[in-house]
């Protein structure tokens, strides 16, 4: 990673109001130009809140209070005024959401919704907007874009709606695309198509990509780097190969071990991580939040471990007290045992 496109430092999102509920705790991450960072973790671990905070969707939501820095194109987005932030939203940074069935306004034509991005970011000639919209629809693989541009969302299938959402995100050629589980709500064959499309367009547009998913298969296919989140914290971050080969945190190792593989020995139970993650709005355990579910817990785990490099690579960080030896032997074996 040469030059960071977006550099997020110490992002913290709290639930506003008396309760001390931290949804995202001190998350720092950077994405380079053209780089793909995947954020993985269980439901409710703060992936989506992190993503929505990056593009500023949680900023004016009175339920949340944010702190930290988000450096993008030489500016700290957290310090921008509402109007300045809007110039970045949809233009420099764009976002695709999880459920394409509900992410489009049912009363506006597809073309109008894509054109709105262009209107908001400076294009005013309607013929030009229409020409660009047709081009975008063609790029995302909508057949007959000249006529489909005038369709309403309910005339589109789920996959086509997600394609339209992608077209909308690409309209102003953003340098960073945030995709929040873009394939979760789609059927399996469509998932593959949408993922391939995102991969291709990422290259065509030279975008950085933050992809949120809990599908580790997708991660293996697309990611350059991976961040694993647990209970609102980054527990491990590193290059995808290093993280998959030598997971440094028991949680990561557990996630990797629980992928069902086609070549798995029949009859053996699929390993799973026992217990459930803490509900963040109700507070979480002292120290390492994974402690109650961890098979390797030490007394030391009552204190929160720092995010540090413990393996060979300096950019492979984890938040665990276990010694590198233990990690490399035990966690490795856990994962290999699952793959055997």
CB of 121 to another protein, least distance (A): 7
Q: What are the C-alpha distances in Å from 339 to residues 42, 129, 256, 261, 264?
A: 21, 52, 9, 7, 7
Residues 331 and 248 sit within 8 Å (Cβ to Cβ):
yes
Determine which residue in the list 23, 91, 195, 234 makes contact with another protein, applying CB under 8 A: 91
> Is 154 or 266 the residue whose CB approaches another protein more closely?
154
Residues 162 and 96 sit within 8 Å (Cβ to Cβ):
yes
Q: Using DSSP bridges, classify how beta strands 75-76 and 308-309 pair: parallel, antiparallel or unpaired.
A: unpaired
> Is 73 or 295 the residue whose CB approaches another protein more closely?
73
Determine which residue in the list 38, 49, 77, 104 makes contact with another protein, applying CB under 8 A: 104
CB of 151 to another protein, least distance (A): 9
- Helix 250-257 and helix 332-339, axial crossing angle in degrees, nearest 10: 0
> Is 182 or 311 the residue whose CB approaches another protein more closely?
182
Q: What are the residues facing 176 on neighbouring strands?
A: 93, 208
Verify binding: residue 90, another protein, rule CB under 8 A: yes
Determine which residue in the list 116, 215, 221, 224 makes contact with another protein, applying CB under 8 A: 116
Verify binding: residue 86, another protein, rule CB under 8 A: yes
Verify binding: residue 290, another protein, rule CB under 8 A: no
> Is 150 or 204 the residue whose CB approaches another protein more closely?
150
- SS3 for 155? helix
Verify binding: residue 299, another protein, rule CB under 8 A: no
- SS3 for 222? helix
Verify binding: residue 205, another protein, rule CB under 8 A: no
Task: Find the Cα–Cα–Cα–Cα dihedral 19, 24, 90, 98, rounded to 10°.
Answer: -90
Verify binding: residue 57, another protein, rule CB under 8 A: yes
Determine which residue in the list 50, 53, 89, 162 makes contact with another protein, applying CB under 8 A: 89
List the end-to-end C-alpha distance of the chain, in Å, as a whole number: 34
Q: Using DSSP bridges, classify how beta strands 93-96 and 36-40 pair: parallel, antiparallel or unpaired.
A: unpaired
Give contact residues for another protein (rule: CB under 8 A). 52, 55, 57, 62, 82-83, 86-91, 94-95, 97, 99, 102-108, 113, 116-117, 120-121, 152, 154-155, 165, 168
């Amino acid at each position: 990673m040469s030059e960071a496109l977006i550099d997020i430092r110490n992002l913290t999102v709290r639930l506003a109001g008396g309760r001390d509920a931290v949804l995202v705790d001190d998350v720092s991450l950077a994405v380079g130009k053209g780089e793909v960072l995947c954020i993985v973790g269980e439901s409710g671990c703060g992936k989506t809140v992190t993503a929505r905070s990056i593009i500023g969707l949680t900023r004016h939501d009175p339920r949340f209070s944010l702190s930290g820095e988000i450096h993008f194109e030489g500016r700290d987005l957290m310090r921008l005024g509402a109007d300045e932030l809007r110039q970045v939203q949809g233009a420099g940074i764009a976002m695709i959401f999880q459920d394409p069935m509900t992410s489009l306004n049912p009363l506006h034509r597809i073309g109008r919704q894509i054109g709105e991005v262009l209107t908001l970011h400076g294009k005013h000639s309607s013929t030009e907007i229409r020409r660009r919209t047709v081009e975008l629809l063609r790029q995302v693989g909508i057949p007959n874009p000249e006529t489909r541009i005038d369709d309403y969302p309910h005339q589109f299938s789920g996959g086509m709606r997600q394609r339209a959402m992608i077209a909308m995100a690409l309209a102003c050629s953003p340098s960073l695309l945030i995709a929040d589980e873009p394939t979760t709500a789609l059927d399996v064959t469509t998932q593959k198509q949408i993922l391939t499309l995102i991969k291709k367009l990422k290259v065509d547009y030279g975008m950085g990509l933050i992809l949120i998913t809990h599908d580790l298969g997708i991660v293996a296919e697309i990611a350059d780097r991976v961040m694993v989140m647990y209970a609102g914290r980054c527990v491990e971050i590193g290059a995808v190969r290093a993280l998959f080969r030598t997971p440094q945190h028991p949680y990561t190792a557990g996630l990797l071990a629980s992928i069902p593989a086609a070549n798995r020995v029949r009859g053996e139970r699929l390993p799973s991580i026992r217990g459930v993650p803490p509900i963040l709005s109700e507070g979480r355990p002292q120290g390492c939040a994974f402690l109650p579910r961890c098979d390797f817990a030490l007394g030391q785990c009552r204190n929160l471990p720092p995010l540090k490099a413990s393996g060979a690579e300096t950019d492979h960080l984890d938040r665990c007290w276990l010694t590198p030896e233990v990690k490399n032997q035990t966690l490795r074996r856990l994962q290999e045992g699952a793959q055997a």
